[in-house]
């Protein structure tokens, strides 16, 4: 399979969502830093929003569409399960990632139950 390229800025929680999907699945990817409305982004997303994704000739935008594609196109642990309510709940959580991140940070300060997840998220540019 062609190299998976994620385009966007690391500060964006939507970019983090798709990077975390890659990290959780163990899918190698390249982050190309590109600002919203830059020519690279507009070539993929007419709305100019990040993230965007490229894999060979295939291009995609919208974080949840990208995360869902990564989940279905690559091997590794399932991020979105086949059970409709659980899958819908996962999509809801991903939509509220910034708030979820704060909840994780709060929990982590009380008990260190999520060291791996914190390492992954730090790797994606999150400051917890």
The residues binding ligand GSH (CB under 6 A) are 12, 14, 36, 48-51, 62-64
> Please, what is the minimum distance in Å from the beta carbon of residue 13 to ligand GSH?
6
User: Is 50 or 104 the residue whose CB approaches ligand GSH more closely?
Assistant: 50
User: Is 30 or 96 the residue whose CB approaches ligand GSH more closely?
Assistant: 96
> Please, what is the minimum distance in Å from the beta carbon of residue 111 to ligand GSH?
30
User: Is 96 or 107 the residue whose CB approaches ligand GSH more closely?
Assistant: 96
Residues 77, 120: Cα–Cα separation, whole Å: 15
> Please, what is the minimum distance in Å from the beta carbon of residue 125 to ligand GSH?
12
Residues 98, 113: Cα–Cα separation, whole Å: 19
Q: Which residues contact 77 (CB under 8 A, 6 or more apart)?
A: 24, 25
Helix-strand-coil percent breakdown of the chain, rounded to 5?
50, 15, 40
């Amino acid at each position: 399979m062609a190299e998976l390229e994620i385009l966007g800025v690391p500060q964006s929680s939507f970019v983090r969502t798709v990077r975390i999907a890659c990290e959780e699945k163990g899918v190698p990817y390249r982050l190309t830093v590109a600002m919203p409305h830059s020519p690279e982004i507009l070539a993929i997303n007419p709305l100019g929003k990040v993230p965007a994704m490229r894999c060979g000739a295939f291009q995609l935008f919208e974080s949840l569409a990208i995360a869902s594609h990564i989940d279905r196109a690559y091997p590794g642990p399932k991020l979105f399960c086949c059970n409709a309510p659980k899958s819908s709940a996962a999509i809801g959580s991903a939509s509220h990632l910034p708030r979820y991140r704060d909840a994780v940070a709060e929990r982590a300060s009380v008990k260190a139950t999520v060291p791996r997840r914190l390492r992954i998220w730090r790797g994606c540019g999150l400051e917890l």
